[in-house]
Structure 1
Amino acid sequence: MKLTMNALGIGLIIGLGTMSASASGLQKVSANYVSSDYAKTKYPIVFNHGMFGFTRLGTQSFGMDYFYQILPDLARNGANVYATQVSPLESTEVRGEQLLQQVDEVLALTGSSKVNLIGHSHGGPTIRYIEIVAPQKVASLTAVAGTIKGSKVADDLLANQAASSVMTVLGQYLIAPIITILEGNPSLSNSLDRSLKSISEKGSTEFNNKYPSAAIPTDCGQGQKVTTNGVYHYSWTGTAQITNLFDIADTAISQLAPLSYKNKDNDGLVSRCNTHFGQVIRDNYNQSHLDEVNLILGLKGLFAPDPVVLFRQHANRLKLEGL
């Protein structure tokens, strides 16, 4: 789940690299120089954003990427990497079909037979959709704070008519359209109701029952790393809400899950156990929901892990697996 504050922070991009976009919204990230092959996986790495997410807001020289500084770093370390653009607010199925079009585009551009998919928040179930409809195109799935079993924040918003009405006006009719216009793809559909239902615990249970996977654990343990279709599965998340007092937007939205769950065993938007998927690399990083993708503008806790490094290490993990 990615809330509206993401759309408000536009700052200077520090990472060195270039980005080319297609009509579908797919963006290829290239480096001005390559320093190593540490992140050079066999298959392209394709990223998918979460709710209220985006590829880039602003221009290449003055703007902000959703996966802030992460993709340029991977490119500098040898990765063939892409960012996808799907509806900021939609159902998992609609977002999944949009993502499938871009996965096919990556396969056509690269000549590769498969891709490594990485999704944050609602991007977790969205990349799952590709495995469901086209498992032969997927080498691995990685859910970062994925709403695999949903977020009770969405259930609570759906149950609160006043909050839903305000969110619909601000989110569906203002913020989400602005995001799609800034990205140059205003034709993308948006529905707050379908989005919330998809990432709710109730909606996620229905989706998972319809499309079961051995990668989804029945409890708070690990799921199956490699399923019978040969696809690898990974996940990680954080369990922090306040990590940097200067990151006001992050701190504000990261209070939602503690209110819904009445505990802090979450990253501010998704509970720890609900993110488990396949091999759980770690589920208690000192990161909030936005810290996990290096937002906003790389602000994080003083002793918190660097998200850029975590993604670089994961790319190397995929490389060593032959993916």
Structure 2
Amino acid sequence: MTMLKYPIFMVHGMGFRDHKILNYWGRIPAVLEENGCRIFYGNQDSTASAEDNAEMLAGRVNEILKETGSPKINVIAHSKGGLDIRCAISKYNLGDKVASVTTISTPHHGSVTVDKLLKLPDVLVRLVAICTDIAFRILGDKKPDAYSVFKLFTTKEAEIFNEKYPDAKNVYYQSYAFVMSSPFSDIFLWFPSLVVWLIEGTNDGLLTPNSVKWGNFKGIIRSNSRRGISHCDEVDMRRCRLTRKKGKNVSDITDFYAGVVSELAEMGY
């Protein structure tokens, strides 16, 4: 693998935190480190608003640059983490400190499914949000705000967000989409996947390819297995290969990330 010029800043999505024992990214960081990459984590809240997490991430970026002496970082963000870091770069003028942003299944354009779900009585949505906030405050979140996050995932709020926080001109943005073979390909996501499938079509258990396109869209990543690749598989939740089968697609998600990093290195990042 060609060596990266800048460290990698990995930004997690909603519903999880960065823990040393139970790493959000599974085997991925270790594989990248074995290939000479320097890895750092966002450590932002799980369910805070994009704006609150942006403040946390901006602080982390400055800490990493000071610690490493590097002038810039490369960002790899999954799911909502992509919105958090985009907000941070735009709001806190980090364009000169970030070389590239790679988003993995980030809902840049919101979700039509969420649009429909939020037509439920607002009191019910707020109740779910309050329960979510309580749970994640116990788990360590400082500013949980699930209600604002739910709203952010609508297509209308996504459009407002994109206009409010434009991309930095000197940062390279790219995105990837993934899909499951059927709604029942992942036992953990079969129900949300089925709902999204009925409303919008093919998805990774939560999001469709049209929802996650941003910057240089690198396409839909598929696996050599019958299951496809789910939102959980994207961050190696199972800590194992997708399949032993070989082919033109992905058999181990760590190989995908190694390929992403190799391409960034060849581009001078």
Q: What is the TM-score normalised by the length of structure 1?
A: 0.72
Is contact 1:244–1:301 with CA below 8 Å preserved after alignment? no
Please, which runs of 5 or more residues in structure 2 have no aligned partner?
223-227
**Counterparts of 1:316 and 1:299, CA distance in 2:** 20
1:81 to partner: Cα distance: 0.8
Please tell me whether the aligned partners of residues 50 and 121 of structure 1 are also in contact (alpha carbons under 8 angstroms).
yes
The 5 Å alignment of 1:138-157 reads 138-157=98-117
The size of the alignment, in residue pairs, is 257
- 1:98-125 CA-to-partner distances (Å, cap 9, x unmatched) read 1111111100100011110111111111
Opposite residue 160 of structure 1, the aligned amino acid is L
Cα 1:305–1:159 shift into 2, 3 Å: farther
Closer, same or farther in 2 for the Cα pair 1:178/1:95, shift >3 Å?
Answer: same
Q: Cα distance 1:177–1:201, how it changes in 2: closer, same or farther (>3 A)?
A: same
Residues 150-189 of structure 1: pairs in structure 2 closer than 5 A: 150-161=110-121, 164-165=125-126, 167-174=128-135, 176-180=136-140, 186=141, 188-189=142-143
Give the structure 1 partner of residue 82 of structure 2.
124
Question: What is the distance in 2 between the residues matched to 1:114 and 1:282?
Answer: 26
Give per-residue Cα distances to partners, 1:196-221, cap 9 Å, x unaligned: 122221111001122344xxxxxxxx
Match of 2:149 in 1: 195
Residue of structure 1 aligned with 2:61, choices 103, 108, 112: 103
Structure 2 CA distance for aligned equivalents of residues 97 and 256 of structure 1: 34
Task: Indicate which of 223, 227, 230 corresponds to 1:288.
Answer: 230
Structure 1 stretches of 5 or more lacking a match?
1-37, 181-185, 214-226
* Counterpart selection for 1:206 from 160, 163, 166: 160
Tell me if 1:276 matches 2:213.
yes
Matched-pair contact (CA < 8 Å) for 1:243–1:300: no
The CA RMSD measured in Å over matched residues stands at 2.4
Looking at structure 1, the residues matched to 107 and 119 of structure 2 have their Cα atoms a distance apart, in angstroms, of: 18
Question: Aligned partners of 1:192, 1:99: CA distance in 2, in Å?
Answer: 18
Q: Does 1:81 align with 2:42?
A: no
Q: What one-letter code is carried by the residue in structure 2 that aligns with 1:173?
A: I
Question: Equivalent residue of 2:231, what SS?
Answer: coil
Secondary structure at the aligned position of 1:65 is classed as coil
| Distance in 1 between residues matched to 2:219 and 2:29, nearest whole Å | 21
How far is the alpha carbon of 1:244 from its aligned partner? 7.7
Secondary structure at the aligned position of 1:135 is classed as: coil
**Change over 3 Å in CA distance of 1:89–1:154 after alignment to 2:** farther
Matches within 5 A, 1:240-251: 240=180, 242=182, 247-251=186-190
Distance change (3 Å), C-alpha of 1:177 and 1:248: farther
Q: Deviations over 1:48-100 (max 9, x none)?
A: 111112112xxx5xx42111111111111100111211111122111111111
Percent same amino acid at aligned positions?
A: 27
Please, which of 172, 196, 211 is the counterpart of residue 257 of structure 1? 196
Alpha-carbon distance in 2 for matches of 1:113, 1:146: 26
